[in-house]
Structure 1
């Protein structure tokens, strides 16, 4: 179904780690650690500024892969793993892009399910890696049928 996309990469997209977005994100996940929101704590930290929560990259834009169309509903979030070289700093620019790593199918109790493995990358403006986010999206038989596949 999606095997022809394996290895394809999106264009890079510029994101800015905005203070207010970090504050709202931290609030929404219920993590009120002051390193995310208190400017004085951020200044006194080893980073010299506030940082974003570890799962924050989920809200960053990471471009489009030509031709890849996923349904807007009915997908299952299967797995998500973050690897960091260093934290995301409030105020910095981050360039993000995605790559399709794999697609495979398994037979389940309700029919065939597809597993789409993607990696999102975040780099600083000099192209140095900050983080990777590996995710698996599950495409159920019901969704597969709606796509006429």
Structure 2
């Protein structure tokens, strides 16, 4: 399926993700970030955060369980860009209600032709409905391969 601007505004059903400290610790280890802010309470208590918090890019691990009401061909998808907008730090054990939506769709001309870009925003709110963070993901959606002229090759 190709994508088009009529899909802008489509959203997933909300789902809950928990900011688990052990998962965040393993995430920080996997990306090579040894910052004690993620697991040392005494260190974190002396920072502006006042307590331990998740690594800034950890939200990618929480915001990927959405099911949009469109079917995309994952073989045509390429991760283009990721950004995170924090309204406050995420605390361990916190339950975040996440909703992904199609924020934008646009095209650009590349060396091999037109490329489509799909911008997905995942809003994360706390249990009181207050916005905590937004994960912005831009996907390059490659054009479908056209069948070769003359049928199959041997």
TM-score (norm 2): 0.83
Q: State the match for 1:12 in structure 2.
A: 14
Q: State the match for 2:68 in structure 1.
A: 65
Residues paired across the two proteins, number? 143
Larger radius of gyration: 2
Unaligned runs of 5+ in 2: 147-154
Output the CA distance in 1 between the equivalents of 2:41 and 2:72: 39
Give how far 1:49 is off.
3.2
Q: Give the root-mean-square deviation of aligned CA atoms.
A: 1.9
Change (3 A) 1:109 1:46: closer
Q: Determine if the alignment matches structure 1 residue 92 to structure 2 residue 94.
A: yes
Unaligned runs of 5+ in 1: none
Runs of 4+ in structure 1 deviating by more than 4 angstroms, as ranges, are 43-48
1:30 aligned to which of 29, 32, 39: 32
